[in-house]
Structure 1
Amino acid sequence: MPTRDRVYLDHAATTAVRPVALAALAEAAALGANPASLHASGRRAKLALEQARERVAAALGAHPSEVVLTSGGTEADNLAVQGLYRARRAGDPGRTRIMLTGVEHHAVLDAVAWLAEHEDAEPVLVPVDAEGVVDPAAWEAALAEAPERTALATLMWANNEVGAVQPVTEAARLAAAHDVPLHTDAVQAVGAVEVDFAASGAATLALSGHKVGAPVGVGALLVRRDATLEPVVHGGGQERRLRSGTVSVALAAALAAALEEAVAEREAEAARLGALRDEVIAAVDALDGVHLTGPRDVDPATGEPLPSGTRRLPGNVHVTVPGRTADALLFGFDMAGFDTSSGSACTAGVAEPSHVVLALPGRTEADARATQRLALGRTTTDVDVARLLAALPQVLGGPMRKERTA
Structure 2
Amino acid sequence: MTHTPLPAVTGPVAPLLDGLGDRLPGLRALYEDLHAHPELSFQEFRTAGIAAARLRDQGWEVTEGVGGTGVVGVLANGEGPVVLLRADMDGLPVEERTGLPYASTATGTDPDGRTVPVMHACGHDVHVACLLGATAQLAATRDRWRGTVVAVLQPAEEVGGAPAMIDDGFLDRFPRADICLAQHVAPTPVGFVGTRPGPVMAASDNLRVRLHGRGGHGSMPETTVDPVVLAAAVVMRLQTVVSREIAAAQTAVVTVGSLHAGTKENIIPDTAELMVNIRSTTPDVRERVLRAVERIVFAEAAASGAPKDPEILPFNTFPVTVNDHDATHAVQAALAEALGADHVFTLPRPVTGSEDFGTFGTALDVPSVFWHFGGADPALFRDIDPASLLENGIPDTIPANHSPYFAPAPEPTLEIGVTTLLAAAAHWLTGPADHG
Range of TM-score over shorter length: under 0.3
Q: Which has the higher contact order (CA 8 A, sep 6+)?
A: 2
TM-score (norm 1): 0.23
Point out the structure with max Rg over C-alpha.
2
TM-score (norm 2): 0.22
